[in-house]
Structure 1
Amino acid sequence: MTQTRSGEDAQKHDGQAPSRRNRRFRGCAGLLAAGLLTITSACGLEPSSTYVPESAPGSVEPIPDLPEGTQLTVTTKNFTEQLILGKIGVLTAQAAGFDVVDQTNIPGPQALRQLMTDHTADMTYEYTGTAWLSYLGHDEGIPDPDEQWEAVRDADASLGLTWLPPAPLNNVYALAMSSETKDKLGDVSNLSDIADLPPEELTFCIESDFNSRSDGFQPMLEHYGIDVPDGNVKILDAGAVYTATEQGDCNFGEVFTTDGRIKSLNLTVLEDDESFFPAYNASPVINTELLEKYPELEDAYNQVSEKLTNEVLIELNRQVDVDGREPADVAFDWMVDEGFITEP
């Protein structure tokens, strides 16, 4: 699924204590302020793509008798949610006792897929719908989350990849409306409700990819029997869709269901009540050989996945895209709050 989620909004203070914010700079703040060091000097700062805070085990415990120095490579794609999930994957593996190689922030799904299928990387968080449609080449997705997961699990088994049970989070296309539009239109909460609206209220803001997909805008309209008048659809850049929807330039805008801007802009997501959109649940995908050698990894990742809901990712994504926080710090704080890891 082509996904654009990395907003560049100005950083805001998130109200957390300094010890839980801007963790990367804590040790060098005084020297930097005094002008004695630059960011690129021997301060020991890591690139943001490989940085994670130091942590200690919590409910994710070290694997008994794991040989010292055993490596596990984590990889993800390069948009906000994947960066957060990648750091969660890194921190989970570290708590289990692995020396983790951080290969998150890979530009493009096909490059990531290659890393996993040739076993250069050992673990990623992948979306069931992405694997089914983009990697395995099927024309239609499967709306039922369990059936979609089972299908990709079975298909990838021959490639030496094990799909652990999916998280509740389902990062899929949806339509949303502003609070003002919600008040104006009244009892509209499902996509099927849109078909009953007057033609003048059928205004949409979408981006070009959604407009041309086989699981996108036009097939959705046909599925729900929505007849949109000519001129009622605005094609915008992905980021502009959210703002235009919130400002009332259209009644309905295309969103991803875990985007942090849903919360920051107070948008209401309409339910896909006839299950048109395929399931895009995120699952931990692990090198089967490594998992067979260290089966305790399954419990480690499963306990984390159970807590990854749409509501959780909306908030975590918001902290990165709106508040300007580091994905690694956001992932760390969430995992500490849930008790999966602890601060050293």
Structure 2
Amino acid sequence: MRVLIAVSLMVAVVTGCGLRPASSFVPPVESGSIQPVPSLEGTQVRVTSKEFTEQLVLGKIAVLALAAAGADVVDQTNVQGSVNARASMTRGDANLMWEYTGTGWITYLGNEKPIPDAKQQYEAVRDLDLSRNGISWLPPAPLNNTYAMGVTRATAEKYGLKTLSDMKKIPVAERTYCVDHEAFGRDDGFMGMLKGYGLKWGTDVPQANAKRMAVGVLYSALTGGQCTMGFLTKTDGRVKALDLVLLEDDKQFFPIYNATVTMRRQLAEAHPEIARIFAPISAKLTDEVIRDLNAKVDVDGGMPVLVARDWLRSQGFVR
């Protein structure tokens, strides 16, 4: 069957978390286990995503899966920042994107405390976001893209670091952090984490000790010694490639960030078959799987759309 080659509205922009630019090129695919759905023929689905590597890979997976099912897909992936990508959904400029349960609960819905049980967290954000904003959340993937504090193995051994509480073992002068711009001020991000672990901004962590930077350079800054600790995400492919040690969140501060396909209510109600398309895809997206896919972009230099296509082919979803 013919598959639409969609045009991205954000072309050739360097990703905030990756090393490669996002591309407007979407390769044609043929149906595998994802078969053409007659009711989707001629239905326009506008897919968006944030700009970091994992979101680009997930966004392209959505674009290709929907195209294989026969939808007319408009690729609007690669929007800068969570707030902007979310706004495109609530305004109706886009009508489908992968989102994270923790981000929905804390950042979009304004709750201060995460729910530690993954199922309960999903159900709470699903119900509240639908009733308040008309956004439907499909069942989540196992992958949990939560924040983490990472150090080099040498640093972990030098200071005896195993948990986030162990940050206090590091002398104040050496208690330095590399943090990406978006995560810095978020309640579920860096500043919230310091408060949660009893570190006072300005004294326990002098302002000069936190260096804000793009995620694309954060990892090289950490391994290059520009900071002692890096504010990372658990599923980033560079964690394994660079042999970084993630400190245990022993106070369970960080929310659970299970990835979930979200849709505007109108699309979800008109086309419940979309949920059936994504159910088997979501089930296969574990931490290990997405970490490997992210590494194919950030470590091996692959294009997100080709990484997404090759994975969908490897699982038999498309040909």
TM-score, length-scaled by structure 2? 0.80
Letter in 2 for 1:104: T
Partner of 1:204: 176
Compared CA separation, residues 97 and 311, structure 1 to 2 (3 A): same
Q: For the residues of structure 2 that align with 1:275 and 1:226, how far apart are their CA atoms?
A: 16
SS in 2 for 1:258: coil
Q: For the residues of structure 1 that align with 2:230 and 2:210, how far apart are their CA atoms?
A: 9
Q: For the residues of structure 2 that align with 1:135 and 1:56, how far apart are their CA atoms?
A: 36
Compared CA separation, residues 143 and 67, structure 1 to 2 (3 A): closer
SS in 2 for 1:101: strand
Partner of 1:24: none
Q: Which runs of 5+ in 2 are unaligned?
A: 1-14
Letter in 1 for 2:17: R
Q: For the residues of structure 1 that align with 2:86 and 2:120, how far apart are their CA atoms?
A: 21
Report deviation, 1:235. 1.8
Alignment of 1:155-234 (within 5 A): 155-158=128-131, 159-185=133-159, 188-195=161-168, 197=169, 199=171, 203-207=175-179, 209=181, 210-225=183-198, 233-234=209-210
Deviations 1:50-95, CA, capped at 9 Å, x for gaps:
x2222122222333x4263233221212222221111100111122
Partner of 2:19: 7
Partner of 2:274: 297
Does 1:137 pair with 2:110?
yes
Contact 1:167 1:305 in 2 (8 A): yes
Contact 2:179 2:230 in 1 (8 A): no
SS in 1 for 2:252: coil
How many residues matched? 299
Report deviation, 1:208. 6.8
Q: For the residues of structure 2 that align with 1:316 and 1:97, how far apart are their CA atoms?
A: 25
Report deviation, 1:226. 5.8
Partner of 1:122: 95
Partner of 2:258: 281
1:48 pairs with one of 23, 31, 35: 23
RMSD of aligned residue pairs (Cα, Å): 3.0
Contact 1:178 1:248 in 2 (8 A): no
Q: For the residues of structure 2 that align with 1:208 and 1:288, how far apart are their CA atoms?
A: 32
Q: For the residues of structure 2 that align with 1:208 and 1:95, how far apart are their CA atoms?
A: 36
Contact 2:20 2:302 in 1 (8 A): no
Report deviation, 1:201. 9.6
Report deviation, 1:130. 2.4
Letter in 2 for 1:76: S
SS in 2 for 1:169: coil
Letter in 2 for 1:204: T
Using the TM superposition, name which of 87-96 and 150-159 deviates more. Answer: 150-159
Q: For the residues of structure 2 that align with 1:67 and 1:237, how far apart are their CA atoms?
A: 42
Deviations 1:161-191, CA, capped at 9 Å, x for gaps:
21011222222321111122234445x4332
Q: Which runs of 5+ in 1 are unaligned?
A: 10-46
SS in 1 for 2:39: coil
Using the TM superposition, name which of 219-228 and 312-321 deviates more. Answer: 219-228
Letter in 2 for 1:173: Y
